[in-house]
Amino acid sequence: MRIHHRLFLATLLAALCLVTLEGRAQTPASSGTAQVDEARTRFSRGVELYKEGDYRAAIIEFKRAYQLAPNFRVLFNLGQAHQELQDYAAALGAFERYLKDGGSEVAADRAELVENEIQKLRGRVAMLLVKVNVSGATVSVDDVSVGISPLDGPIRISAGRRKVSVSKSGHQSASQNVELAGRDQKELSFELTQTTSSAPAPVRAPAPNPRPKPKGMSTGFWVGMGVTAAFAASAGVVGYAALRAKGDHDDKLDTLGTSRAELDDSRAKVKNLSLTADILAGSALVAGALTLQHAEALAGIALTLVFATGSSKEKAGVSVGASQAALFGTF
């Protein structure tokens, strides 16, 4: 049959251009005439591409021509192009439709020629029944869609090793490879499972702008200032006590008969009071800085510090609360 196809294409082109396509336009509408003209152009381009060996492009042009002005003669050319690509299932379908749609208009000798080719092609295709457990899934063969589940019946596939895939939105896709010989009849089953898609994270509304704080000093500020003042005052009191202790210690050094124990106790007292005064002064600085930055966090704080001076009878301390501050000591 391929021996005669080039001659037949030329004959068909002339017939299609001069008679058939024009005969399809039954209405006088200009759009119908334009479609016929475009169909004629596309068919001519398909013939050229076929002669050049670009069969895939020729198939596209033949299909477009058939869509614009359906004519059974185009199906013969379409079948020839599919056959050149060894797509025997598509070629068989095109030739069968050619004889069916053409009917008595197909010449007897040509009908016999096409029928012989059909018998050869049937030995190169197989029938595959694809079953899917869900409806609405796309069934593909070699990544080309052939239908939606449930299929009406077995699908015709060219013999060879084929990849059959099934996919549906919201389900996990599945595929199987199958080897088919001519005239085989096989069945494939697919079980698609739903995918557990995680719910999108809720969109959080932007946090409202904090209300502007009223002007003026907050309670935390005044508490912080109280703490700072208490530390500062304590530092002053303890520092004064340290000076007094230093004077007493110096007097004892100048006094004859002062025991070693008294001198050690006096020296320890001076040292402890001086250290305590330094700590209180540093605490006052820290409290002042914190007050300026974290006044609110200081509200409600109750703090009591007791500092020993080195003698069981002498103590100094500061007690600070949310609403009051107090100094106490025994010297």
Work out the percent of the chain whose per-residue pLDDT is above 90: 49
Fold held by 125-190: Immunoglobulin-like (2.60.40)
Cβ atoms of residues 127 and 184 within 8 Å: yes
pLDDT for 329 equals 55
Q: What is the pLDDT of residues 228-251, one digit of tens each?
A: 677 677 767 767 777 777 777 677
pLDDT for 124 equals 96
In the β-sheet with 303-308, what is the strand arrangement from edge to edge?
303-308, 315-320, 325-330
CA distance 115 to 112: 5
Cβ atoms of residues 167 and 141 within 8 Å: no
pLDDT for 17 equals 44
CA distance 289 to 302: 18
CATH of the structural domain 5-122, one choice from 3.40.50.1860, 1.25.40.10, 3.40.190.170, 3.90.1640.10: 1.25.40.10
Tokens 């020993």 sit at which residue? 308
Q: What is the pLDDT of residues 97-149, one digit of tens each?
A: 999 999 999 999 999 999 999 999 999 999 999 999 999 999 999 999 999 99
Structure letter (DSSP) for residue 191 = -
Q: What is the pLDDT of residues 64-92, one digit of tens each?
A: 999 999 999 999 999 999 999 999 999 99
pLDDT for 245 equals 73
Q: Which amino acid is at 38?
A: E
Structure letter (DSSP) for residue 136 = T
Q: Tell me if the bond preceding 208 is cis, omega within 30° of 0.
A: no
pLDDT range class, residue 45, cuts 50, 70, 90: very high
Question: Environment class of residue 24 by beta-carbon count within 10 Å: exposed (0-12), middle (13-18) or buried (19+)?
Answer: middle
Q: What is the pLDDT of residues 165-206, one digit of tens each?
A: 999 999 999 999 999 999 999 999 999 999 986 556 566 767
Q: Where are the domains of the chain?
A: 5-122, 125-190, 219-330
Structure letter (DSSP) for residue 215 = S
| Highest averaged pLDDT of the listed ranges 152-156, 253-257, 313-317 | 152-156
User: What's the mean per-residue pLDDT of the chain?
Assistant: 77
pLDDT for 326 equals 56
pLDDT for 253 equals 66
Work out the percent of the chain whose per-residue pLDDT is above 70: 62
pLDDT for 61 equals 96
Provide the token pair at 215.
Answer: 């002007």
